[in-house]
Amino acid sequence: MVRRFSNLISLKIKVMLKNYFKIAIAVLRRRKFFTFISLFGISFTLTILLVLTAFIDKVVGDNYPDRKRDRSLYITRMSQEGKGNINNGALSFYFLEHFTKVLKTPVKIAISSRPNGTNTYINDKKIAVNYKYTNAAYWDILEYDFLEGKAFGTKEIDNAAKVAVISEDMKHEYFGDIPSVTGKYIEADNVRYRVIGVVKNVPVTSYLTYSDIYLPYTVSKSDYKNKDYGGSFTGILLAPSKADMQKMHDEYEQMVKRVPMGNKMYDHIYTHADTYLAAYLDTGNENQSGVVLVLTVISVFVFLFMLLPTLNLVNINITRIMERSSEIGVRKAFGASSKTLVYQFIVENIILTLLGGLIGLILSVIVIYFINSLNLIANLELSINFMVLFVGLLICLFFGLLSGVYPAWRMSKLNVVTALKAQ
């Protein structure tokens, strides 16, 4: 008897669910304009969100080649300030080499110049090239993937050897499709360098480590022994462990305080050893953290971006449900309870949202495919962040439910006679 009763209940639930689904599909198909607007709102918002986060994810989250990011502090900028004088920019090789040498915490210090642009010619074809000078420790701290050959070390640095590590793209562009280029010569800025290694590409957005050609700093034409503090170099300090990061940070701050003024024009020096994110987003303003600024901008942007279609959806949903008051009246007259009706509208909204999510996902895949294949941003391979998809869907679902359930609940509480008259 009990079993029969429970079978009956489960049959009823099954019938209900199937029927909600059927009604939902019928409603969505019959009200094409409404469906289009809703789906467009949901999927377009999700697409923008997914592409945007794929971008941020790649730019900030991808840790090739600095895989020891959690143990590294980045020195990217120095500001020298005096009365009416401000000098803001990268640091000199001398400053990074001379003053960080005394630090006890870092196990290694990578120093490299910002990429310099030049043109080179091969078979009368002009190729734009970025080259970058590094020290030997650079190759120890940063874990580039070598496709062939190896990096230069202390010996090559000391001898000012004209050797180069090049990127995979540079190899193809300069030498064409040949299996190995180690030992061949590449020309940049009228100097011939012997290729000793080829590394996997780094996207241009990782500007601290991106380059086409990497050269020993000792071959630099500019004077790396110049004792000015400002220059074109950046540094990475490697701590022995994650736990030593704070200590290393503090030690650098203390050291900077003791540094004598290099130039009479200035009376203050500001430079910090920051985490990757903070260094990446450095605004150049001592008083404002780039991280806070960027996070605020992104949050406001996402909030506004989600808010507009949400309000729209809420509005459409309310109008749509009010339009269906006669249907609600009829269903109640023929035996639907208020609860059943609320469930029906919930299922309709869930189906709509999931459909929107699916379309959003497909659109994102297409957009990301095009961004990747058109190579709009050098070496940048975007991919979808499924966590964001999930959270985005959840947000849509939440607002979908909010916008659908509230009016549905109100309508379901309506007196049948009033609901029927509303037609």
Partner 1 sequence: MIQLQNIEKVYRTSTVETLALNSINLDIAKGEFLSIMGPSGCGKSTLLNIIGLLDAPSKGHIKIDDQKTEHLSDKQLAAFRNKKLGFIFQSYHLINDLQVLDNVELPLLYRASSAKERKMLASEALEKVGLANRVKHFPNQLSGGQKQRVAIARAIVGRPEIILADEPTGNLDSAMGSEILDILLQLNQRDGTTIVMVTHDENMAHKTHRLVRLFDGSQVQ
Binding site for partner 1 (CB under 8 A): 8-9, 11-12, 15-16, 18-19, 22-23, 26-27, 30-31, 326-327, 329-340, 415-417, 420, 423
Strand partners for 131: 116, 213
- Read out DSSP for 322-367? HHTHHHHHHHHHTT--HHHHHHHHHHHHHHHHHHHHHHHHHHHHHH
- Which of 23, 255 has the CB closer to partner 1? 23
C-beta of 305: minimal distance to partner 1 in Å? 32
- Which of 154, 415 has the CB closer to partner 1? 415
- Which of 28, 236 has the CB closer to partner 1? 28
Gap between the Cα atoms of 66 and 236, Å rounded: 10
Q: Nearest Cα to 49, choosing from 308, 258, 245?
A: 308
C-beta of 358: minimal distance to partner 1 in Å? 22
Is the separation of the CB atoms in 180 and 128 below 8 Å? no
- Which of 230, 329 has the CB closer to partner 1? 329
- Which of 33, 121 has the CB closer to partner 1? 33
C-beta of 201: minimal distance to partner 1 in Å? 54
C-beta of 408: minimal distance to partner 1 in Å? 15
- Which of 114, 320 has the CB closer to partner 1? 320
Length of the chain: 423
Gap between the Cα atoms of 130 and 210, Å rounded: 9
Is the separation of the CB atoms in 210 and 153 below 8 Å? no
Gap between the Cα atoms of 269 and 262, Å rounded: 9
List of residues 6+ apart from 106 with CB closer than 8 A = 100, 237, 238, 239, 248
C-beta of 413: minimal distance to partner 1 in Å? 9
DSSP character at residue 230: B
- Which of 10, 254 has the CB closer to partner 1? 10
- Which of 27, 239 has the CB closer to partner 1? 27
C-beta of 409: minimal distance to partner 1 in Å? 13
Gap between the Cα atoms of 414 and 115, Å rounded: 69
Gap between the Cα atoms of 139 and 137, Å rounded: 5
C-beta of 32: minimal distance to partner 1 in Å? 12
C-beta of 369: minimal distance to partner 1 in Å? 37
